[in-house]
Amino acid sequence: MVEDSKFERWWPARAALLWLVLSVFEIALVGKIDPQETPVGIGVALLAVAMTFAAVATAGTRYGMRFAWIGFAALVARNVVRDTFVVYRVVLRRLFGGAVADGYLDVPFDPGGDDPRSAGRRALAVAAMSTSPNEIVLAIDAERRTMKVHVLAATGTRRHSAQWPL
């Protein structure tokens, strides 16, 4: 109950911070402050914040995050770039009559408990792995302590560890 009251007390500050971050991100992506585009982007950021908080309230689940997990963004970016080339090879091979060698992996993964930080860790791990164009997480098996992952093409390297990604 303490966690719920703490969240309820700080939600306006969290919403304002998320709105600020998304607004700055929009301006950075556009590369300029335009009197016609910027207000729309800031409005869309506000809508995204409202939808995010509505989804969290509807789900009834709290997610905890660690600031250190931001460092995994570089790992995700590297996987996206590398796997884009892997998918290009698959597409080219398929265009020239080759077969697609897709498959499933059981990646070691500790799902944690029922606390907000474990829920946030699971959500981040699924989103981070599924961002790569070559892989998508299908399920987390808590009993076997694995993530079931579909891969379009096996890369031949073992790039997942028991701590992946967090």
pLDDT digits (tens, 9 = 90+) for 112-145: 888 888 888 888 888 888 888 988 999 999 999 9
Q: What local confidence, expressed as pLDDT, does residue 6 receive?
A: 58
Judge residue 52's burial from the number of C-beta atoms within 10 Å of its C-beta, 0-12 exposed, 13-18 middle, 19 or more buried.
middle
What is residue 29's three-state secondary structure?
A: helix
- Please say if the pLDDT value at position 1 is more than 70: no
**Against a cut of 0.75, is the pTM above it?**
no
Helix, strand, coil % over all residues of the chain, rounded to 5: 60, 10, 30
Q: What is the DSSP letter of 106?
A: E
- Please say if the pLDDT value at position 161 is more than 90: no
